[in-house]
Amino acid sequence: MDEKKYFAHESSYIDEPCQIGEGTKIWHFSHIMKNSTIGKNCNIGQNVVISPEVILGNNVKIQNNVSVYTGVICEDDVFLGPSCVFTNVINPRSFIERKDEYKKTTIKKGASIGANATIVCGYNIGRYAFIGAGAVVTKDVPDHALAVGNPAKIIGYVCECGNKLNNDKDNYTCQSCNKKYEMANGNLNPKE
């Protein structure tokens, strides 16, 4: 008999088949549904639902009361704040089944989504982007962007360490870790 290499609280439900990486922790009242993939060293908080075919990379942190629906992909090092919300159908009706219309949503490496934010399906959140608490994302968010409000608007850019960058003529600097970035063709990239 294989010994599992992850922790699952006794009140959680894990449907088979699914893949759960070594070192992952699944806490109280959470439900991992069949055919989902969870990477190594993830932390799945209390009362979380991971729907079928969801993919979570390594080191993903999901806080309490989050439902990650079919169609969502979270790359490595993603943070999902408490009670943030995903959707997977643009025009839901209770009396019309639209499972064949699920839209894909990708949260790229290192991105953070704040508490109570809503991510409308079919859009991508860029690498190391930061979505503020309560924001409603209705379009793609580029790498390193800081997006807040309803609908979410970009108000600045953040460093890989999560701090807001200072801007001087398309040159950006982190006052916390001193990393430097430059804007080229609408993309923010680390300076070599």
Considering only 14-18, 43-47, 153-157, 187-191, which range has the smallest mean pLDDT?
Answer: 187-191
Q: Taking a C-beta distance cutoff of 8 angstroms, is the pair 55, 75 a contact?
A: no
Q: Please give the residue range of the domain that contains residue 89.
A: 7-160
Q: Taking a C-beta distance cutoff of 8 angstroms, is the pair 190, 180 a contact?
A: yes
CATH number of the domain within which 40 lies: 2.160.10.10
Q: Can you give the pLDDT at residue 30?
A: 98
**For residue 178, is it within any domain?**
no
Section 118-127 average pLDDT: 98
**For residue 172, is it within any domain?**
no
Question: Residue 152, class by beta-carbon neighbours within 10 Å (0-12 exposed, 13-18 middle, 19+ buried)?
Answer: buried
**For residue 171, is it within any domain?**
no
**For residue 173, is it within any domain?**
no
Going by pLDDT thresholds of 50, 70 and 90, the confidence category of residue 5 is very high
Q: Can you give the pLDDT at residue 185?
A: 86
> Residue 74 — left, alpha, or beta (φ > 0 → left; ψ -120 to 50 → alpha)?
beta
Q: Can you give the pLDDT at residue 184?
A: 86
Residue 32 pLDDT > 50: yes
Q: Domains in the chain: how many in total?
A: 1
**For residue 176, is it within any domain?**
no
**For residue 174, is it within any domain?**
no
Q: Can you give the pLDDT at residue 1?
A: 34
Question: Is 135 in a helix, a strand, or coil?
Answer: coil
Question: Is 100 in a helix, a strand, or coil?
Answer: helix
- Name 52's bridge partners: none
Q: Can you give the pLDDT at residue 169?
A: 83
| Cα–Cα distance, 91 to 26 (Å, whole number) | 32
Residue 130 pLDDT > 90: yes
**For residue 108, is it within any domain?**
yes
**For residue 169, is it within any domain?**
no
Q: Can you give the pLDDT at residue 37?
A: 98
| Cα–Cα distance, 64 to 47 (Å, whole number) | 6
Q: Can you give the pLDDT at residue 192?
A: 75
